[in-house]
Structure 1
Amino acid sequence: MLWLCLIICCRNTDPVLVGIPSEPLLEEQDSPSKVLQQKKKSATKVKHYTKPPGVIVDVERFGGASFMESQPYLSEQLGEFVSKHTLIPRDGERRVYEKGEVRIVDDTIYMIRFMLPEPMRRNKALRVAGFTEFIDKYVITHHEYQVLYKWDFVRFRMKREDEESELVTSFEAWKWIPLEQGSR
């Protein structure tokens, strides 16, 4: 009788809790350094690059790209190199050109800022930076227009000519913000 009880109790049965899948719900995630390496590999290549017509600085192409590969094209679009400033370690370095600046961490461009040749509407400013001009949502302040989380960028800032004007005078794009490690 005892062995009959053991056979019945020790047989293979379905889980007691029904509805719980046998496969895990969460997948194992890669380490942040591995994700960064994958992003660098998948970053847009700038070899054999030609600037699109009507674009002043091709922010879409250079944001997140290798600085070493992009440097000659950046000089063509931002003018002559002026100075280099070392920022705190996690912020990398800042390179200033005649018409703008870039910020770089680990050979990756994470911010591009440039002055527009003339005041223009914000949709045209997006177009001359290499993006489509149709945005459904802006954050509007008395100093600037902001676009958040579009085209794999964290932030776009367009400085207004003055509080009453809709024209903008400069364009700034952030691929990620160093303080926010999750955005990288």
Structure 2
Amino acid sequence: MDTRDRLIESTRELLWERGYVGTSPKAIQERSGTGQGSMYHHFRGKPDLARAAIRRSADELRDRAEDAFAGPGTVVERIGTYLGRERDALKGCPVGRLTQDFGVMADPELRRPVEETFAWLIDRLTGLLAEGRASGELDPGLDPANMASALVAVVQGGYVLACAAGSATLYAQAVGGALGLLAGHVR
């Protein structure tokens, strides 16, 4: 891993552990094993580095989701693959968790990748659900946009429930419930 990547990965870890306000440039440098000169050679400062770290987390979420969405199977199977993929439910979503970080949400530039990621995810799911409705796989009464938003909310809420209870079982139950709701619309 080159210096720039070490800085980004260290910032991602620290944002996860400490939040934006609790992540100091000194902590980033210590975690990454780089000096101040290296950090400022690659980034204009902490906000610039945090944007790169948040963007990387957002890009990884999109890539993993797209792998499931573009894979084989029916629309419901592909959405099921996305919902059922292995996750560390007790850690939460690396992007969704940022919505609870005031330092990130208060800065439009830091918030933007979070907003864009969830907008993309809802749009992508809406498109898949519309595809399923158009092909006759799903009930014509299904509202793709509403279901897409509900599916994203279930995943994010499932993380919250699992973390609050200290049990991944609650995440699995939330996903199972979402799959049940979706299955109710299969023709």
TM-score interval, normalised by the smaller of the two chains: under 0.3
User: Structure 2 length normalisation: TM-score?
Assistant: 0.27
Higher share in strand? 1
User: Structure 1 length normalisation: TM-score?
Assistant: 0.28
Higher share in helix? 2
Higher relative contact order (CA 8 A, sep 6+): 2
